[in-house]
Copies of this chain bind each other. A is one copy, B any other.
Amino acid sequence: MAVSLSVSTVQPLGDRVFVKVSPSEEKTAGGIVLPDTAQEKPQVGEIVAVGPGKRNDDGSRATLDVKVGDKVLYSKYAGTDIRLASEEYVLLSEKDILASVQ
């Protein structure tokens, strides 16, 4: 029962999304700068897989507002980190996504 994990095999459940973490861009001119004193620092990433959405009480699905390819801002303290082939990923609930970046 060896499980081989690669990016394409991870399928989030419910309202979760699978996000590739973007390299930190702190202090880049004109780019995002996360102050050290910020209470909750946002992180930037790109969605590589989305869940089918949470089930409503009547059994239907509440489909997600984000999709594969969206760039998103999310709280650094949310979700579960995974390192896969030396890249960093995170599994997030959609509600932990603060904004999309177009």
Please list the residues of chain A having a beta carbon within 8 angstroms of any beta carbon in chain B: 1-6, 9-14, 16, 18, 20, 22, 25, 30-35, 38-42, 44, 46, 49, 51-52, 55-57, 59-60, 62, 65-66, 71, 73, 75, 77, 79-86, 88, 91, 94-95, 97-102
In the bound complex, do residue A40 and residue B80 qualify as a contact, i.e. CB atoms below 8 Å apart? yes
Shortest 6 CB-CB distances between A and B: which pairs?
A38-B81, A33-B83, A5-B32, A12-B99, A91-B98, A40-B80
Q: How far is the CA of A91 from the CA of B34 in the complex (A)?
A: 13
Known: A3-B22, A14-B65, A46-B1. A91 touches B80 (CB 8 A): no
Residues of B within 8 A of A42 (CB): 80, 82, 91
